[in-house]
Amino acid sequence: MTKIILLRKPIRPAIVAISYDLASEYSETLVALAITNTPGTAVLEVDRIGKIMYVHWINAKTLNPAEARRGIIEAFEKHLKKAMG
């Protein structure tokens, strides 16, 4: 973030809707917190019924939901599923 600010790099902020595949509220919360801890991203809302997280991405590489899912949430989901069984 500092690099973006100091070097005045152009950014492409966006809010993307990303589907997720987690079974419990606990795992949803852990993934949302992990995403928010990533610089430049923040989970704004979680739709538990539709299983969608709305994520603010400071420098969106894509607006395609499937590509955004691969770039933002997939790794966290994979590791959490391993840990939680």
Is pTM beyond 0.75 here? yes
In this prediction, residue 46 carries a pLDDT of 95
Average pLDDT, the chain: 87
What is the domain count for the chain? Answer: 1
DSSP string, 14-47: EEEEEE---SSHHHHHHHHHHHHHSTTEEEEEEE
3-state secondary structure (DSSP) of residue 81? helix
46-79 tens-digit pLDDT: 999 999 999 998 888 888 888 988 888 888 888 8
Range of the structural domain that residue 73 is part of? 11-84
Q: Tell me: pLDDT of 1 over 80.
A: no
Whether 4 maps to a domain, the answer reads no
Task: Find the CATH number of the domain harbouring 75.
Answer: 3.30.70
Residues 19 and 57 sit within 8 Å (Cβ to Cβ): no
In this prediction, residue 16 carries a pLDDT of 92
